[in-house]
């Protein structure tokens, strides 16, 4: 009985430590990014979140590189290219820009969509349905459309929502630690 209580406390403490570590690492990344260039703080935060999220996703096929494709134009593209060639969970990140007609399922492990119209978003999500490509966006209602991770602004904060049903349907496993940090999970 005593051992069971100790294990429960230890598990709870280690989960809290992992979450705290995630938050501290994100804040340190944000500080390092803020020192580098004069881009919007929101773009820097979103980029840091995208980078950190890759550490909490398991893809069905593991390769040496993890390719993040970007669809859309905007100042965040410059920030996203700053994480090009960084490492995440033993994999080297490759950030590349694509157009809406690209075969994302063959070229990308993750796809960040921004500054594009809802019709294009819905079309791309339909093409990727069931394919192991993590979809991320800062567009409103993204997870309602079937996107997997939506970055949402709430006042001065950026939080995220997760459509775990879409991720599971694409054979992607999102860590329970990340699910706990999400503002909403579907």
pLDDT of residue 15: 61
Res 95: pLDDT? 97
More confident residue, 71 or 2: 71
C-alpha–C-alpha distance, residues 76 and 51, integer Å: 13
Residue 102 burial by Cβ neighbours in a 10 Å radius (0-12, 13-18, 19+): middle
Q: Given this model, what pLDDT does residue 25 score?
A: 53
Contacts of 103 (CB under 8 A, 6+ apart): none
pTM: 0.78
Angle between helices 2-36 and 41-53 (to 10 degrees): 140
Residue 81 contacts residue 43 (beta carbons within 8 Å) = no
Give 4-46 pLDDT, tens digit per residue: 544 444 455 566 555 645 555 555 455 444 444 447 899 999 9
- Give the end-to-end CA distance of the chain in Å, rounded to a whole number: 36
pLDDT at 85 over 90: yes
Give pLDDT, residue 37: 45
16 compared with 136, residue with greater pLDDT: 136
* Number of domains the chain contains: 1
* 144-180 pLDDT tens trace: 999 999 999 988 899 999 999 999 999 999 999 999 9
Confidence of residue 184 (pLDDT cuts 50, 70, 90): confident
Chain Cα centroid distance, residue 75: 18
Average pLDDT over residues 94-102: 96
Residue (of 17, 82, 20) closest to 48 by Cα position? 82
Give the mean pLDDT of the chain: 86
Supply the CATH number for residue 33's domain: 3.40.50
The pLDDT value given to residue 14: 61
Give the domain range for residue 75: 2-185
> How many residues comprise the chain?
186
Q: E-strand spans in the chain?
A: 57-58, 65-71, 87-88, 91-97, 110-113, 134-137, 149-154, 157-162, 173-174, 184-185
Half-sphere exposure at residue 4, Cβ-oriented, CA atoms within 13 angstroms: 1
Residue-level pLDDT at 20: 47
Tell me the percentage of the chain whose pLDDT exceeds 70. Answer: 80
Q: How confident is the model at residue 61 (pLDDT cuts 50, 70, 90)?
A: confident
Alpha-carbon distance of 31 to 23, in angstroms, equals: 12
């Amino acid at each position: 009985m005593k051992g069971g209580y100790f294990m429960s406390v230890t598990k709870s403490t280690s989960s809290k430590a992992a979450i705290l570590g995630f938050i501290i690492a994100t804040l340190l990344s944000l500080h390092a990014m803020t020192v580098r260039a004069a881009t919007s703080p929101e773009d820097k935060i979103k980029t840091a979140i995208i980078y950190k999220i890759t550490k909490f996703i398991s893809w069905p096929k593991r390769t040496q590189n993890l390719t993040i494709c970007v669809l859309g134009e905007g100042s965040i593209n410059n920030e996203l290219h700053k994480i090009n060639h960084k490492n995440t969970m033993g994999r080297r990140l490759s950030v590349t820009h694509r157009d809406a007609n690209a075969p994302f399922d063959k070229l990308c492990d993750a796809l960040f969509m921004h500054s594009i119209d809802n019709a294009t978003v819905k079309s791309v999500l339909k093409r990727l349905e069931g394919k192991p490509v993590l979809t991320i966006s800062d567009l409103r209602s993204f997870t309602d459309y079937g996107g997997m991770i939506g970055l949402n602004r709430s006042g001065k904060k950026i939080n995220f929502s997760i459509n775990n049903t879409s991720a599971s349907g694409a054979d992607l496993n999102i860590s329970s630690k990340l699910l706990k940090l999400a503002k909403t999970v579907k």
